[in-house]
Every structure is written in structure tokens, then in C-alpha cells.
Structure 1
Amino acid sequence: MNAPDETDALPEMVGCLCPDPRAWREEALPCNLRSEEETRVFLQQQAGRLVAVSDKVISRGGGAERRCFRVNDGVVRLVQFYADGHRQVTRFAFPGDYFGLSRAERELASEAVSGVTLLEFDAGRLQQLSDCNPYLAHQLTSALRASVSQATEHVVLLGRKDPRQRLAVFLRMLHRHLGLGDVVPVPMPRIDIADYIGLTAETVSRAFAELRRRFIVEDLDRHLLRLDLPALGRLAEDEV
């Protein structure tokens, strides 16, 4: 389990939806689960359950971190902090996403962007179960592939020189995970977007203003946008 100082701090940062959110029951791992539904039910029974309000720390990361998580509701940011005080948001985890499956991700800090509910697992025991359960192995392999795909998309995004294009790529990614029709919620603040797409918050604000001027983005509410998806796609693909 985690180091005592991190364990002791957790109740101040997140709330428990079960008596002990860190408990992974010590019963034998069943290798004879016969369907994805049985596997899903087993995992829900085994998992700890956490709830955190926006901006609360879920994990500080580091070599001692052994937990991984699945997002039920809300959005989580994974963050690399540097010695000079600045940070890089490396990934957003959306509903249905796992994070912390790889050792590299467990090194990162994780924080709630919005109010979140999470399933919490011991990463080692989850791997043991996946080694003998093809249904879970398939699920975790798909989760790792999705994480790699997002990381690749992130690298491509950071290679774009035009701030409007970086923002367009980000909004398309956000729409893919959270969008409904041409509407998408934007739960994260501008500084999170800036630290993800490698710009300053001021530059992000100017890029938003330009997309509004061109009627590619329309504000419906403080955290809700309507997107001109074809125009956004053309901008993201550098066709305009």
C-alpha cells in the first residue's frame, strides 16, 4: 500500500463511498469468470470507491504509488510537476477511462478537474487477475491502447505551431469523449487547457476569441460550447 504520510492525508482530499476505499479484498483471484459482465461485477465488488470535488488531489504520484483507477463520472487530469514550479498536464481521463495502469502514469500526480467518482484498484492484483482472465485482459489492453492513442494525439497537437489549431485539436478530442451532437461541456479551466496544449492561458483566451469571431465556437453557458464541427475539423487538419 502507499506510504503512511500519503495514506493519512487522503481523507482530507477525497471522500469515501465505501468503508475502506483502499481495500482490495484478499479472497482468491477467480480465473474462471465466464463473461465480461461477470468480470465487471467482480471488479465493482473488489474496488474501492472514491469521490473527490474539483481540484482535489487523488494521488500525488511517485514510485510508491501502487493504485490505479477507473473514472465513473467526471474528469481527472494527470500532471507532471517540475522543480522550477511549472507543470504539464499530460492527459485527461474521462468517464470509462482507466489511469495509472502503467508505472509511468503512476509516477504522475492526479487531480479532479470536476467532481469525480472513481473505482480504485491495487495495480499489481489487477494485473494478476488479468493474467488469468481473458475478459479483463482484453479490457485493460484496450484501455492501454486508448492511453497510447491519446498520448500520440497529444504529441501531434504540441507539434502544431498555430494556437488556433492546437485548440481545435483539443476541442475535437473533448467532443469525442464528452460531446452530444454539436454541443460539448468544457469542465476544465483555461489554465488546464493551456498546460495541456503548451500555451499560456492568455494565448488560449485569444484563440477562443478568434474561433468565436469565425463562428466555429459559440458560448451557450460558462462551461458549455456549441461547435461548428466541419469547420473545427478543417482547422484541426490545417485545411484553412
Structure 2
Amino acid sequence: MGVICRQCMARDSALCSAMTDDEIGELFSIAHRVKVDGGSYLLHEEDSSKYVYNLSSGVCTLERLASDGSRQIMAFVYPGDFIGITSGPYYSVSVKALAPVTACRWHVKDMAGLYHDHPLLEQRVHEIASRVLAATMDQLFVLGRKNAVEKIAYFLLYIDERQRKFDGHSDSFILPMTRIDIADYLGVTVETVSRAFSRLKKKRLIDLSQAWVVTLKDRKALREMVEK
């Protein structure tokens, strides 16, 4: 196993976590290291689904464009998430980097060969992919049943849970996405996002700095707001 694998942010949460060092070496030997600048796309909706990716660093959006040109963000993907798995010949979503990201990329035919030699690998890949699907299902539930402030509370708890795996157990974290991204994720306007943040801050449930750093001051109250 090389230095790059040992230093990977996703080493303990990606598919590599279930593999031995020799198996990781075999996996990495057929991988291509991909770097994408912030604002650029890792893959595009309706591109041929030739490759699958495991995000190593950075945060991306899974998004789709409606016929009127509006954007819906389906999920935010973090290091360790697997991207590009589809049952059809084309990708069903686009993946956009919010900041510079790195990922390991494999051709689907190469992965099929590894699945044959390492059956547990395929199981691990689908477990990781199902994590993104579960987050999308939660999002749909929230969109249909919660008001704007409750949606933002849900969103902050979700991002906090994802980032704590890499940033430790701090109550503060930097939001890697913009208000526009949050609005497109929750299906509200940018103005609604700003008002909801202000209300949560006024209730002293969160603190928000100019540097887009969020501090969760009362997780219990936020969770109760979401679960009621």
C-alpha cells in the first residue's frame, strides 16, 4: 500500500477499510488518480457510465437540471462516498466539485474483475452507495413535511454528522457549500435560507460567523425541531 493510500482522508470510511493492505495495493494498481478544481465537474449527467469513483478529499454535489434550467441538488458527497454506480449506460446525475477534490477512478470492467476475485468488495461498494441513497430519501421526507427553519436544522445536523468523521468532535464546522447550493438542495429560495439561519441564530441554537463557520450551540433542540 502506497503513501497516497495511507494519507487518504477516506482510508477508514471508504471501501478500502474492509480490505487488507495487499488487496488495497491491487485495487490501487488499476486506479487512476483524478483531481478536479472547484466549480468543475467530475462527471456529467447523460455521459457514458464508463467509470466509478471513490472520493478521496473535498466535497461534491450530486445534481440534475430540470427542463426549465433550474438545478436540484440531490445530495452532497464526502470523502469515502462512491460515485457513478448506475444500472444504465449513462449517468443519471452530474457531480460538481465545491472546492478542489481528488478521487480514485476505475473503469467498470476493471471493477467487475475485482468483484469476481473479491466478492466482499462488491458488497462494500454497494453499502457505500446506499449511504448516499439513504441521505437522498431523508431529504425527500424533509422537503415534503418540514418548514424552512426545520429544513435548515435538518441540513446542519446532516452536514455536522458527515464532517465530524473527518474534523473530530468540534461543535463548529465550515460549510463548504454556498447559500445557493443549500437552497437548491432544500428546494427553497436563497432569501429563505438566509432568514432561516437568522432565526436559528436568534433562538441561540447556532452561531454563524462571516467566514461561513457554523457552531451548533444546542444539538438536542435542533434534533427535537427536526423530529417533531
Relative to the length of structure 1, the TM-score reads: 0.79
d(CA) in 1 for partners of 2:113, 2:155: 35
- Of stretches 200-209 and 64-73 in structure 1, the one that deviates more from structure 2 is 64-73
Please name the residue that 1:190 is paired with: 179
1:148 Cα offset (Å):
2.3
Please name the residue that 2:73 is paired with: 89
The answer on whether the counterparts of 2:81 and 2:129 sit within 8 Å (CA) in structure 1 is no
Question: Secondary structure, in 3 states, of the residue corresponding to 1:159?
Answer: helix
Specify which of 168, 177, 192 is matched with residue 153 of structure 2: 168
d(CA) in 2 for partners of 1:101, 1:112: 18
1:106 Cα offset (Å):
2.2
Map 1:70-219 onto structure 2 (within 5 A).
70-103=54-87, 106-179=91-164, 180-219=169-208
Please name the residue that 1:4 is paired with: none
> What are structure 2's unaligned runs of at least 5 residues?
5-17
Q: Which amino acid in 1 is paired with 2:112?
A: Q
User: For 1:83-106, what per-residue CA distance to the aligned partner results, in whole angstroms no more than 9, with x for missing partners?
Assistant: 211010011110111111224782
Superposition misfits of 4+ residues, deviation over 6 angstroms = none
Specify which of 18, 30, 36 is matched with residue 46 of structure 1: 30
Please name the residue that 1:31 is paired with: none
RMSD over aligned Cα atoms: 2.1
Question: Secondary structure, in 3 states, of the residue corresponding to 1:117?
Answer: strand
d(CA) in 2 for partners of 1:103, 1:51: 26
How many matched pairs?
Answer: 206
Question: CA 1:45–1:224 in 2, change beyond 3 Å: closer, same or farther?
Answer: farther
- What is the percentage of aligned positions where both structures have the same residue? 26
- Of stretches 160-169 and 39-48 in structure 1, the one that deviates more from structure 2 is 39-48
Relative to the length of structure 2, the TM-score reads: 0.83
Question: CA 1:127–1:146 in 2, change beyond 3 Å: closer, same or farther?
Answer: farther
Question: CA 1:120–1:35 in 2, change beyond 3 Å: closer, same or farther?
Answer: closer
Question: Secondary structure, in 3 states, of the residue corresponding to 1:158?
Answer: helix
Question: CA 1:124–1:163 in 2, change beyond 3 Å: closer, same or farther?
Answer: farther
1:75 Cα offset (Å):
0.2
